[in-house]
Amino acid sequence: MAGEDELKLLGTWASPWASRVKIALHLKGLSYEYVEQDLDNKSELLLSSNPVHKKVPVLIHNGKAICESLVILEYIDEAFGAIGPSFLPADPYERTIARFWAAYIDNKLAIPWAQAFKANTEEEKAEGLKQTLAAAEMLEGVLKECSKGKLFFGGDNVGYMDIALGGLITWLQETEELCGAKFFDTAKTPLLFEWMERFSGLDAAKVSLQDGGRLVEFAKGGGLR
């Protein structure tokens, strides 16, 4: 990392979106200052850095704030393109495919999952879980297509889609404990199950993802946002 670059990450330990950014920074080998945020008492730094949404994560690079996890991933990849692995493919069409499926992960997997967890009725919970399971099965096929038989969505190396889904791993793994549903298993999603084990074993994931037991207690206490 160049000496003049100063990186600061605003996040919360439980945020899967902040985990994405941590993973990306570690994969690039970038040094950064992490500043834990209290979302019940938002800091002036967070409010001034993200005045529109007032949420984490926010990456501050040399005083300039970048918001939204997927946007931050692209920024890191472009701003530090000469350092570490590239997250997005060089081919323009393949880049659009990666962006499409990363947005799918947020809209069709993460949102229904959160709705299921926070549902007020059993019907709402069942519908959220149904949509999440359908998205997981869809991503099984996407992994087969995009990986071309290799280790990750990005092929031989971790890519944009890997990080997008990888940041959510601990939350998704603990869904069986929290909601009574299992999204990744050897029967319905064998490729994703193996991918999840492989991704979780990466050094960048080990230092960035949450402890499952602590996360369950946090979620049961009403901590999910």
Length of the chain: 225
At 136-172, the pLDDT tens digits run: 999 999 999 999 999 999 999 999 999 999 999 999 9
Locate the domains of the chain by residue range.
7-80, 92-218
Query: How much is the pTM?
Result: 0.95
What's the CATH number for 7-80? 3.40.30.10
Tell me the average pLDDT across 183-191.
94
The share of the chain scoring above pLDDT 90, in percent, equals 88
Per-residue confidence band for 3, with pLDDT thresholds at 50, 70 and 90: low
At 35-85, the pLDDT tens digits run: 999 999 999 999 999 999 999 999 999 999 999 999 999 999 999 999 999
Q: Is the pLDDT assigned to residue 177 strictly greater than 90?
A: no
Alpha-carbon distances of 66 from 8, 150, 158, rounded to whole Å: 10, 32, 22
- Phi/psi of residue 144, nearest 5 degrees: -60, -40
Alpha-carbon distances of 71 from 76, 78, 84, 134, 165, rounded to whole Å: 9, 11, 18, 26, 15
Question: What is the maximal distance between C-alpha atoms in the chain?
Answer: 54
| Identical fold, 7-80 and 92-218 | no
What's the CATH number for 92-218? 1.20.1050.10
